[in-house]
Amino acid sequence: EPEVTQTPSHQVTQMGQEVILRCVPISNHLYFYWYRQILGQKVEFLVSFYNNEISEKSEIFDDQFSVERPDGSNFTLKIRSTKLEDSAMYFCASSALVISDEQFFGPGTRLTVL
Amino acid sequence: GENVEQHPSTLSVQEGDSAVIKCTYSDSASNYFPWYKQELGKRPQLIIDIRSNVGEKKDQRIAVTLNKTAKHFSLHITETQPEDSAVYFCAASNNFGNEKLTFGTGTRLTIIP
């Protein structure tokens, strides 16, 4: 069964550094998402992406965040200048138009900002 | 925007008994309600979902009910087993899942052998 994949599984960075989290959505999916989950808390929506542009973003997704689909397979989340409070698990998800309602989640990248 | 409340936050159930988790939502435009199971350190995985045009859906030991008037939906797990132990999240979305999911705060379910 096809799965969403994410790299790296764990990223440790210094405050103020840039990080790029990578995702490979399921190949025939058209909607892509980033969510984050601070340890012990609920999953929170960051941004959705469709047809090569952002379709919605939350208030968490400020100017420090950006997303890109640089080629036909990858979907990236960039945090320009990380803060301590960016430490969380970041999940990528994808869904197919029409075929299914389900959003399929990747295994996550644990980001630790020191 | 949408707000999803979930109760209880923790639930312990004797193996073989039933477990019920309840959620309420605020946005009457929401039309898709999935339930995700998250084991420790793993990705959320969909276990069952329901659209707003249906009042109940069942899949083996798992069922979900939806009351659109009251804006609440519930997860029912019967004949619970130790492998049901996990955190369960409800969520709500517009556009049948192709919009963002708004998650509840989660329920940690522990099955006591």
What pLDDT is stored for residue B41 in this prediction? 86
Residues of chain A found within 8 Å of residue B34, distances taken between Cβ atoms: 101-103
What pLDDT is stored for residue A100 in this prediction? 64
Q: Is the pLDDT of residue B104 over 80?
A: yes
Half-sphere exposure of B2 (CA within 13 A, CB side): 27
Cβ within 8 Å, pair A43-B103: yes
Which residue does chain A place closest to B104, by CA atoms? A42
What pLDDT is stored for residue B97 in this prediction? 56
Q: Is the pLDDT of residue A97 over 80?
A: no
Among partner residues B89, B96, B102, which is closest to A101 by beta-carbon distance? B96
Residues of chain A found within 8 Å of residue B96, distances taken between Cβ atoms: 101
What pLDDT is stored for residue A2 in this prediction? 86
Residues of chain B found within 8 Å of residue A58, distances taken between Cβ atoms: 100
Among partner residues B32, B46, B105, which is closest to A42 by beta-carbon distance? B105
Query: What would the mean pLDDT of A37-65 be, rounded to a whole number?
Result: 93
CA pair distance A25, A3, nearest whole angstrom: 7
Structural Rg of chain B based on CA atoms:
13
Cβ within 8 Å, pair A102-B105: no
Residues of chain B found within 8 Å of residue A56, distances taken between Cβ atoms: 99-100
Task: Pick the more confident residue, A96 or A107.
Answer: A107
Q: Per the structure block, which two tokens stand in for A24?
A: 């490979």
Condensed to tens digits (0 to 9), the pLDDT of residues B8-28 reads 999 999 999 999 999 999 999
What pLDDT is stored for residue B94 in this prediction? 83
CA pair distance A9, A21, nearest whole angstrom: 9
- Burial group, residue A1, by CB count within 10 angstroms (0-12, 13-18, 19+): exposed
Condensed to tens digits (0 to 9), the pLDDT of residues A13-25 reads 999 999 999 999 9
Mutation target vs B (from A23, A101, A102; most B CBs, 10 A cutoff): A101
What pLDDT is stored for residue B53 in this prediction? 84
Residues of chain B found within 8 Å of residue A107, distances taken between Cβ atoms: 42-43
Indicate the pLDDT class of residue A38, thresholds 50, 70 and 90.
very high
Cβ within 8 Å, pair B101-A43: yes
